[in-house]
Structure 1
């Protein structure tokens, strides 16, 4: 696996359309966004024949018919290339979560580098760097209970510790767990993307990994495939992750020059519509691809549907065709709905006729004035006292 150029795990940006574009443009592997263990535990695996994907779904407050896609993969392009990044602070929960997706991914990566609150709360993400015993337990459990029986590689992504010697010591411990790869984000926990990456300890980290016969990837300020190849050569790592540069333009994985942003934006939208990606995520990702000072940016920002975005970008709107089963389900649902409405009308008409027969059809007071009860006889004649489904058949 030497010399790889891969897509880094990115929350929101790392959803399916971005991953597909990265693979199309030449990424060797793609990481999905961090998924918390409890978020995937209990998910149901569904083969989505509408877009040829594998969906992991969980019921929402509305029950089984209101399900949320927690994780989605597209085997046609992602088979053997998708790494599932897991957010966890528990060996038991990590194993339970990993088993759910193990058969559909090319690897499971533990996030112990993200410094943001949504990741470090409850001891996940970069918080694990301050609790190395727990991190070692998690990785060892995953290797033993998931990696070996499911033949799926287990890896970990870390950040630098403040002292280089501490980072080396941590990596040495991680290499004893049986994992296949360590990815180093070359920044410390307090550092932010605007801070330049620190690489002066990277060669030593790679050496420790190679002595244990595992891979070492680098992350942080990698701008293109050509840049990744330079870093691989200089520091002896096995691969490099690209994050922000790929977020702005996934064509950075091409061996030559990246494509114009407008071409990439159009290709992204085509892919997003084709795989039925949810609209807010489409807008979010386009906000990184389309420069903020262009005339298109405010138009995209004000858009309300994927169809509108296609019109703005002047590309065809071609959503996936509904399955035959979906069409039948909708037809049956419409029939049932019409029948219910019709039945209520019949009952109302019967009730009105009974009232009139009993002498209850005289004038009634309304708003201080008398008005005549209207329509009872008309309704009872118009709506037959039989099931209305014959008029509600939908083809």
Structure 2
């Protein structure tokens, strides 16, 4: 009798999470901030990756709890780019929700040095379910420092970073360490790289099915995917695919087709995060429903308005009139008013005040002007009443308007009544005078 061999699995730490069977939000710069992650979870994402955060950006950061909404913020004073003037407000480097993201948030780090990676990861390790190393970003801000896709050309350094994180962060904090890569031009080179990475102690590997020079508009290349999945499976490491995954239904089908453990959705989630719903769960929702939900999360988390506006430009169809107005908004109040979300206006004005946007808000200024005008009219009426009461003059009650279908009555157009002699009543008739006889009528003969 043949014995079934169970594939090995790298143990998932107590505070970590298994990537198997998951459809997740991909790490995206600007599109992976807290409101974007919360709305992805709201519509069915199993896990969410935060945006790549450079390890050096966390140097000197302070962890604090926002007393207004309970979010955890990592902040530091900005460098001011060397300018002499003193910074007056701390910058929020990273923000997370310890309740709604618990066990579902993966922190992606941009790094090129094991020591700095470990120091930065330790700051957030107690609040996340995993640390993911970005070795796939092709943007110059990442590759110029030897980070992102540049690590694909320095595999020794990448291996050293992963091993250090597993040893000094993953094990002590009991969370998983993973890596995200791109395929290389030659399948053999990809095979050699993945074979080394799965031996570092990582729990998951995500492969973006594009080479470094390829742009998102170019079709993903999936020919190497089964090979990568097989290497990961043999090593007991979860394999997640990324590239041209548009909906949850599509993700599940691709996972089955290529034998991978999970799938990431990226740009499709920027356009409509309800893509994490299957068709059976309702599928894609109308844009206005999604935008209302997104703005609500933005207000709850006090998200930087510039970032929220960036996402609004993607979520709101640009050809619609309200979309054009929303894109010119300078505050949350402006955006909510333009989109007709009056129920969000009180919270929008409050967050604008917190973020120092009130003076920039056109809507708030208009409302304040109208409020001042209404108050002035009310004061004038009250002063008029007070003066009249002080002089002893009685209040003249205005006549109630006559309800007519033809509008107001003009008194100068009403004809003067004709003076007629009053008719005699029966009591004024002298009954002693005989009534006159009726004159005899002539009978007309018929012709």
**TM-score per shorter chain, which class?**
0.7 to 0.9
Deviation digits for residues 271-314 of structure 1 (CA, Å, limit 9, x no counterpart): 10111111111110010111222212220121111011111122
With the length of structure 1 as denominator, give the TM-score of the two structures.
0.80
After TM superposition, the score normalised by the length of structure 2 is 0.71
Q: Show the counterpart of 1:112.
A: 135
Structure with more helix by fraction: 1
Q: Is 1:190 aligned with 2:216?
A: no
Structure 1 residues 295, 322: CA separation in 2 closer, same or farther (over 3 Å shift)?
A: closer
CA distance in structure 2 between the aligned counterparts of 1:186 and 1:222, rounded to whole angstroms: 11
Higher strand share: 1
Partners in 2 of 1:45 and 1:168 — Cα distance? Answer: 40
Alpha-carbon separation, structure 1, partners of 2:345 and 2:142: 36
**Counterpart residue number, 2:103:** 80
| Whole-angstrom distance in 1 between the partners of 2:193 and 2:322 | 47
The reply on whether 1:309 has 2:309 as its aligned counterpart is no
Residue 103 of structure 1 is aligned with which of 113, 118, 126?
Answer: 126
Deviation at 1:322, TM superposition (A): 8.1
What SS does the corresponding residue of 1:247 show, helix, strand or coil?
Answer: helix
Matched, 1:268 2:294: yes
How do 1:34-49 residues align onto structure 2 when only pairs under 5 Å count? Answer: 34-49=52-67
Q: Distance in 1 between the 2:213 and 2:87 partners?
A: 42
1:319 aligns with 347
CA drift at 1:319 = 2.9
- 2:203 is aligned to 180
2:322 matched residue in structure 1? 296
**Which whole-Å CA distance do the structure 1 matches of 2:334 and 2:265 have between them?**
31
Partner residue of 2:224? 201
Give ranges in structure 1 of 5+ residues lacking alignment: 327-395
Structure 1 residue 41 displacement after superposition: 1.7
Matches within 5 A, 1:1-395: 1=18, 2-60=20-78, 61=80, 66-256=89-279, 257-315=283-341, 316-319=344-347
Measure how far apart 1:317 and its partner are: 2.1
Conserved 8 A contact 2:332-2:349: no
Q: Could you say what the CA RMSD is over the residues aligned between the two structures, in angstroms?
A: 1.7
Indicate the SS of the match to 1:75.
Answer: coil
CA distance in 2, matches of 1:293, 1:322: 30
Matches of 1:59 and 1:44 in 2, distance apart? 10
> Mind listing any 5+ residue stretches in structure 2 that lack a counterpart?
1-17, 355-447
Q: Which has the larger radius of gyration?
A: 2
Offset at residue 59 of structure 1 (A): 1.3
CA contact (8 A) 1:219 1:242 kept: yes
SS in 2 for 1:27: coil
| Alignment partner, residue 376 of structure 1 | none
1:320-360 CA-to-partner distances (Å, cap 9, x unmatched) read 8989xx9xxxxxxxxxxxxxxxxxxxxxxxxxxxxxxxxxx
- Note if contact 1:9-1:34 (Cα within 8 Å) is conserved in structure 2: yes
Q: Secondary structure at the match of 2:210?
A: strand
Query: How far, CA to CA, are the matches of 1:181 and 1:159 in structure 2?
Result: 14
Distance 2:59 2:174 in 1: 20
* 8 Å contact kept, 1:275–1:320: no
Deviates more, 1:314-323 or 1:270-279: 314-323
**d(CA) in 2 for partners of 1:248, 1:322:** 28
